[in-house]
């Protein structure tokens, strides 16, 4: 068992066992699934998701997914529910109960209490004929033939099936709500994911230096501008319009190709018509432009006027990459 070959074989067997179980879920989808989705979509309340043990962990993840995709949800631990947390459930809430067996003691105590309050209930269970399966309004069947665990004991395949069923619910609801990338950004303002969805070029360029020289600027002034602004580049600007760009690479090439550059000016070594983006462009689109053209800076303009520079390092710092 300690050999590398044995370890890899067991890993592959586990993945294959779980993938087969997931594939089979599509055969277990019935009209109950569609009715459950419509129930949640039309509900004026929230989704309360409960479970115990590993199912409780899965419930927490499904809650997080629903909340981040426009469906308000709250986790309620099944054991805590019968010791006071039932007060979380409001009149219009829909309750989802997750349990592989559907027959655990906590579930048997909890379900009648919820039914007394007349809340609609959905089960995610591997045993549709269980106590839970028989008591709820809709059953989402997550039956698995066996766990990936060699003893068929540790929740592995079954919890994966629960998770996938929860994702299917969330994605259906997302589609029905017409949940867009803008909505997603509203719920994910922090971290790299949020920044990809809302960060614009002007948010970065506005805090950067704004290197620029006139086309007639001498080489010394060009080098000083690039050095002082520390972006490895300067825009060549005339009447607030971008006419070219000089990079530190252009300076090196000039030094390699010319022994006398005192008579040269910015217009003599600049690259005309450089790549540029509008200030309102998404930062992630600016990154794509840099990658496609193999450049590390891009000039920014607003209404045709030069307003700054975005550097690849800015995007790295913001976590866009």
Buried b / exposed e over 84-115, threshold 16 CB at 10 Å, is ebbebbeeebbbbbbbbebebebbeebbeebe
Query: Which helix (H) or strand (E) is 32 found in, with range?
Result: helix 31-42
Q: Specify the pLDDT at position 263.
A: 83
User: What are 125-182's pLDDT values in tens digits?
Assistant: 999 999 999 999 999 999 999 998 888 888 899 999 999 999 999 999 999 998 876 6
β-pair type (73-77, 47-51): parallel
Q: Specify the pLDDT at position 26.
A: 94
* Domain 4-179 class in CATH: alpha beta
User: CATH 3.10.580.10 occupies which residues in the chain?
Assistant: 201-317
pLDDT band at 1 (very low <50, low <70, confident <90, very high): low
pTM listed for this prediction? 0.67
User: What are 269-290's pLDDT values in tens digits?
Assistant: 999 989 999 999 988 899 999 9
Q: Which residues are annotated as a binding site?
A: 77
pLDDT band at 95 (very low <50, low <70, confident <90, very high): very high
User: What are 179-228's pLDDT values in tens digits?
Assistant: 876 676 666 656 556 666 678 899 888 888 999 999 999 999 999 999 99
User: CATH 3.40.50.10490 occupies which residues in the chain?
Assistant: 4-179
* CATH hierarchy code of domain 201-317: 3.10.580.10
Cβ atoms of residues 265 and 216 within 8 Å: yes
Q: Return the DSSP state at 229.
A: H
Q: Specify the pLDDT at position 199.
A: 83
Q: Which residues are annotated as a binding site for Zn(2+)?
A: 77
Nearest to 236 by CA among 215, 250, 220, 218: 215
Judged against a pLDDT cut of 80, whether residue 51 lies above it is answered with: yes
User: What are 166-180's pLDDT values in tens digits?
Assistant: 999 999 999 999 887
Q: Specify the pLDDT at position 85.
A: 84
Nearest to 122 by CA among 220, 234, 41: 41
> 55-64, 80-89, 187-196, 225-234: which range is least confident on average?
187-196
pLDDT band at 82 (very low <50, low <70, confident <90, very high): confident
Report the percentage of the chain scoring pLDDT > 70: 94
Which DSSP string corresponds to 135-167? HSSEEEE---S--SSTTS-SSSHHHHHHHHHHH
What gap in Å lies between CA 221 and CA 159, rounded to an integer?
66
Judged against a pLDDT cut of 80, whether residue 19 lies above it is answered with: yes
């Amino acid at each position: 068992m300690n050999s590398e070959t044995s370890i890899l074989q067991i890993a592959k067997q586990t993945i294959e066992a779980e993938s087969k179980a997931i594939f089979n879920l599509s055969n277990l989808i019935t009209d109950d699934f569609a009715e459950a989705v419509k129930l949640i979509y039309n509900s004026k309340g929230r989704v309360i998701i409960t479970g115990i043990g590993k199912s409780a962990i899965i419930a927490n993840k499904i809650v997080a997914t629903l909340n981040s995709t426009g469906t308000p949800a709250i986790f309620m631990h099944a054991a805590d529910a019968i010791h006071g947390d039932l007060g979380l459930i409001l009149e219009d809430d829909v309750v989802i109960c997750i349990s592989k067996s559907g027959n655990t003691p906590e579930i048997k105590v909890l379900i009648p209490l919820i039914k007394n309050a007349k809340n609609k209930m959905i089960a995610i269970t591997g045993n549709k004929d269980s106590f839970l399966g028989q008591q709820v309004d809709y059953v989402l069947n997550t039956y698995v033939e066996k766990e990936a665990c060699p003893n068929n004991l540790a929740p592995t395949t079954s919890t994966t099936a629960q998770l996938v069923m929860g994702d299917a619910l969330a994605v259906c609801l997302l589609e029905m709500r017409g949940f867009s990338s803008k909505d997603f950004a509203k719920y994910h303002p922090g971290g790299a994911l949020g920044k990809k969805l809302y960060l614009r070029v002007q948010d970065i360029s506005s805090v950067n230096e704004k290197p620029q020289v006139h086309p007639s600027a001498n080489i010394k002034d060009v080098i000083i501008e690039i050095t002082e602004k520390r972006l490895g580049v300067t825009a060549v600007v005339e009447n607030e319009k971008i006419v070219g760009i000089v990079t530190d690479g252009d300076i090196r090439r000039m030094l390699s190709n010319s022994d006398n550059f005192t008579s040269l000016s910015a217009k003599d070594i600049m690259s005309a018509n450089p790549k540029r983006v509008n200030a309102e462009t998404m930062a992630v689109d600016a990154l794509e432009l840099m990658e496609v053209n193999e450049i590390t800076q891009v000039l920014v303009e607003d209404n045709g006027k030069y307003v700054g520079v975005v550097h690849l390092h800015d995007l790295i710092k913001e976590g866009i990459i």
